[in-house]
Homo-oligomer: A and B are copies of this chain.
Amino acid sequence: MSTPLLNGVLAPVITPFKPDLSPDVERYVRHCRWLLANGCSGLAIFGTNSEANSLSMDERKTLLDALLEAGVPAAKLMPGTGCCSLTDSVALTRFAVERGCGGALMLPPFFYKGVSDEGLYRNFAEIAQRVGDARLKIYLYHIPPMTAVPFSLGLVERLLRDFAGTVVGMKDSGGDWKNMEAMLKAFPGFQFFPGSEEFLLPAMRLGAVGTITATANIAPAPIDELFRKWNTPQADAMQAAITDFRRAITRFPQIPALKHTTALYTGHDQWAVTRPPLVRLDEAQGEALAAELRQRQFSMPGIND
């Protein structure tokens, strides 16, 4: 109740790796600081774009603690803490809450398919009860293209009713506007973030509180500007511009493209590296992406290696 809820533009922070594929902690902290100084009001660390599920629990805990030690305010962090394993989800969510994180962005357990709403409800009920901390703010992470385990309206309604004040919002990365619209209309006051800035303006018009979006890793400022000016005459033109930019990036495999762009503009090629099963852009893709960026006079102001 004391800390205001997160809103605005949150980046699902990409994770730099060293040549041995271990997380490059110092470079990660620098990227997080750059994001917060350039338009992000918060950091959705350990998301899909972070390759978080390709990291161990300990690697995630180390990165979170490194940010806090570097002075990044915990209230600005919304780490991904939803795992396949109930015990992992409880442990990681508790870890985040104890450190004062502003929220926890929770995937459903995503190994089993065709699971019932009852089973998903029990997963979140167990987590909320076991963590048992009034500071816990759960944001449901709806991303059927990866999980194939959707949050239905009925499930969300039941969680909001039974865990009022704990289950507070959603990131919707399904790419389906009809679902976003239904969620926004069904649950006034729900802290709703479309998972792409393509939907920022229509979602804001229905009560969304911002966006958690991949592209914020490289171009947070224009998305933040639309967030702040969504209710002005320029909003539609701003939406068109950021949508155009996003589509230029997502012509390429998304996570490798974000990392490749960061490598180009920091001058640190190692940024382009992903953990398996993802692979970095090949040379031709990298050149095509660089051409798109140059053509748009893209820059990452103040970025440095």
Interface residues of A (CB under 8 A from B): 21, 48, 53-57, 59, 84-88, 91, 108-113, 115-116, 118-120, 122-123, 126, 145-149, 275-279
Q: Is the CB of A53 within 8 A of B85?
A: yes
- Chain B residues with CB under 8 Å of A48's CB are 111-112
Q: Is the CB of B276 within 8 A of A126?
A: yes
Q: Is the CB of B123 within 8 A of A276?
A: yes
The smallest C-beta distance from A254 to any residue of chain B, in angstroms, reads 10
Q: Is the CB of A54 within 8 A of B109?
A: yes
Residue from A53, A147, A148 whose CB has the most chain B CB atoms within 10 Å: A53
- Chain B residues with CB under 8 Å of A88's CB are 56
Known: A146-B111, A146-B113. A277 touches B120 (CB 8 A): yes
7 more contacts with CB within 8 A, not counting A56-B57, A111-B146, are A53-B85, A54-B111, A55-B85, A56-B91, A59-B87, A118-B279, A120-B276
Q: Is the CB of A85 within 8 A of B111?
A: no
Interface of A is mostly: loop
The smallest C-beta distance from A166 to any residue of chain B, in angstroms, reads 17
14 A-B pairs whose Cβ atoms sit less than 8 Å apart in the complex: A21-B126, A48-B111, A54-B86, A55-B85, A55-B87, A56-B87, A84-B84, A109-B277, A113-B146, A113-B148, A119-B278, A120-B277, A126-B276, A148-B148
- Chain B residues with CB under 8 Å of A53's CB are 84-85, 109, 111-112
CA distance A150 to B116 in the complex (A): 24
Checking B57, B91, B122, B275 against A277 with a beta-carbon cut-off of 8 angstroms, the contacting residue is B122
The smallest C-beta distance from A116 to any residue of chain B, in angstroms, reads 6
CA distance A119 to B51 in the complex (A): 13
Kindly list the 10 A-B residue pairs having the minimum CB-CB distance in the complex, ordered from nearest: A119-B277, A123-B276, A53-B111, A122-B276, A115-B277, A53-B84, A56-B87, A119-B279, A109-B277, A56-B88
